[in-house]
Structure 1
């Protein structure tokens, strides 16, 4: 896409793999900025390793599945029937494709029945609901979900999904486990490398020589990026100081494999990582724990 000067709207990195996106030509300003970044060479890869990870609500399947909906003038009996037929706790109350009146749920029905509402129409049983855009950071949306049970997701002015606490819970392990594995792997690598007692100058030698700004900031093993950690373990003079009964070449290949998986995780591919990649992370963490 970069070669052909194309981009997607919204960015394919912030929506689910099954979402529709628009492919269009990049603006002159965007192309100019990318050329400037390419001129920075290896610095770009370090920046990519360290850039903040922003997961969006649009990367959840539920955010891209049109919600079941009902009219405010329908009966609560009809709402209950739809909820039971579809094993769902929420219905969007809407007038047309874009006008949202609220949501109805088992909770709102229970509260209204307890208050002995005299009418059986949905409008007397609904509750307000927050609407978030499809590119809203996931953790910002989670706060809204905790406060209001669920949120409706909007894309291009139309409601495209409903995300509830149940959806978040079902996705939690899938979303968080790779990050936890990577954090533990990096922690173990730093702890192992610390045993070599590298001097500040030796640590700086692991940084790209052309990146003078970064060299000035790095002074200890804790400051190294994952790529720089992998570079350290690949150097014979450092490996020999570790006294590990392991093959340096095979160990370094595994770290390169982890680095590749890390890029997928940190850039958050909408389709996630494969079970094979997840197993590599799990086994690597287990191996490092024993060193």
Structure 2
């Protein structure tokens, strides 16, 4: 068996391809591929202070510090060796010859993609995506970061929505190339723009724990926000996370349409007339008070203005300013419910920490309503399928199809699952018993499409709403079942 350029065999490379596809590269992958032998010494040099930290690679693919502590990820090892902070360990640790762990990671990825495991379109698209990600990294390193919409980013993974698996895969493959997005692509809208940035720069200051930053991305973000009165979340995280922990899922504040779409505001020196006019022209119930894009002074509402003037007919505008709360665009919606209940609205900070939008109770109600609608339709679909099967078919024959060995101990139609409905309605004999003037193959094909939608929803895998096409699909199937099922 011929060795690869990195010292591993063809079999090792194929194993690496199978294991790495869709997840973060590990130190153990480099060891297994022969690119990083056990016992290799690693150096982490702090440029400004001149401090040099040493570690070595263990046989089981960990980084062992001089004090004996072992870490599975380079970033955690880097943070531990200096006593805290946030680092991209792949660009922090180097071999004695100056080769970065990041270089070895790219060598492994190149070897994997050089010979896809098959000639399928999926393998081809994987190679194309690898080439595109390498290009994006080169652009980021050159300070000319690529920006695109989240929707366009997902196209590279053959997806139109951010389901759990797609988000995990995209995050992992971006991280493997030392890339992350600013803002976080999972926490904004599908049509919002994100910038692909490289590893954060180690901005070692007076304290070792100071985190790195992305100068090119920060400059670009500053330019994009310089003419807006807009706030949001902290800067991007490092591109590496613990590979054993999944990326946090759940609906984020930034996923709401209004969260990062700008905000109309007034300053604390404004007049009542200015506030009245802006609130009336935009049909707003509240107006943020900002003395600069990051300096939130509070807000005024129709109620706060009325209270101030009721208490003192000669009240000045500052007398009507009440407290307002700002949250990060990356915060989970469920975590801001208490603030929403208290204030009736919250302001949203973007990745540059500027006020970038506002969400109200109405926005939250619309979001949860849109999220609940498909769940209600899925429940209705389940009931209709069970009804037509129980009314038109024989229980004994249905059980024979769905539980032929009796392991599930089915005794009633109520025990059937969605998969059972598909099994029954795909059977020609049972279909003929229903006597429907419909095409069985087309009908069951649609059932399978709806199964995919159902699985994403019921496992909370779909970060984006079901979509404009799925709701009519569910409704049309339910109406068809009602029409022919009686």
Query: Fold-level match, TM-score > 0.5?
Result: yes
In structure 2, the gaps of 5 or more residues are 1-20, 23-125, 131-172, 199-238
User: Offset of 1:243 from its aligned partner?
Assistant: 3.5
Q: TM-score, normalised by structure 2?
A: 0.45
CA distance in 2, matches of 1:225, 1:11: 37
Contact 1:6 1:24 (C-alpha < 8 Å) held by counterparts: no
1:112 alignment partner, one of 305, 308, 319: 308
1:152 alignment partner, one of 340, 344, 347: 347
2:273 alignment partner, one of 70, 77, 86: 77
1:209 aligns with: none
2:374 aligns with: 178
Q: Which has the larger share of helix?
A: 1
SS of residue matched to 2:293: coil
2:324 aligns with: 129
Q: Deviations over 1:37-64 (max 9, x none)?
A: xxxxxxxxxxxxxxx9833332211111
Contact 2:370 2:465 (C-alpha < 8 Å) held by counterparts: no
CA distance in 2, matches of 1:154, 1:96: 13
CA distance in 2, matches of 1:185, 1:269: 22
When the two structures are aligned, how many residues end up with a matched partner? 261
Greater mean alpha carbon deviation, residues 136-145 or residues 148-157: 136-145
SS of residue matched to 1:83: helix
Root mean square deviation, CA, Å? 3.9
Q: TM-score, normalised by structure 1?
A: 0.70
Cα 1:244/1:115, change in 2 over 3 Å: farther
Contact 2:378 2:474 (C-alpha < 8 Å) held by counterparts: yes
1:188 aligns with: 384
1:16 alignment partner, one of 189, 197, 203: 189
Contact 2:260 2:350 (C-alpha < 8 Å) held by counterparts: no
2:450 aligns with: 258
Equivalent residues in 2 for 1:31-110 (5 A)? Answer: 54-110=250-306
1:38 aligns with: none
Q: Deviations over 1:213-258 (max 9, x none)?
A: xx99x99877776556534533457656x73535432221121232
2:336 aligns with: 141
Matched, 1:243 2:411: no
Instruction: Tell me which of the two structures has the higher relative contact order, counting C-alpha pairs closer than 8 angstroms and 6 or more residues apart.
Output: 1
User: Offset of 1:125 from its aligned partner?
Assistant: 0.8
CA distance in 2, matches of 1:159, 1:220: 57
CA distance in 2, matches of 1:244, 1:104: 65
Cα 1:67/1:226, change in 2 over 3 Å: farther
User: Offset of 1:105 from its aligned partner?
Assistant: 1.2
Contact 1:153 1:161 (C-alpha < 8 Å) held by counterparts: yes
SS of residue matched to 1:102: strand
Q: Deviations over 1:76-124 (max 9, x none)?
A: 2221122123332221112222222221111211222222264322x21
* Bigger Rg, which one: 2
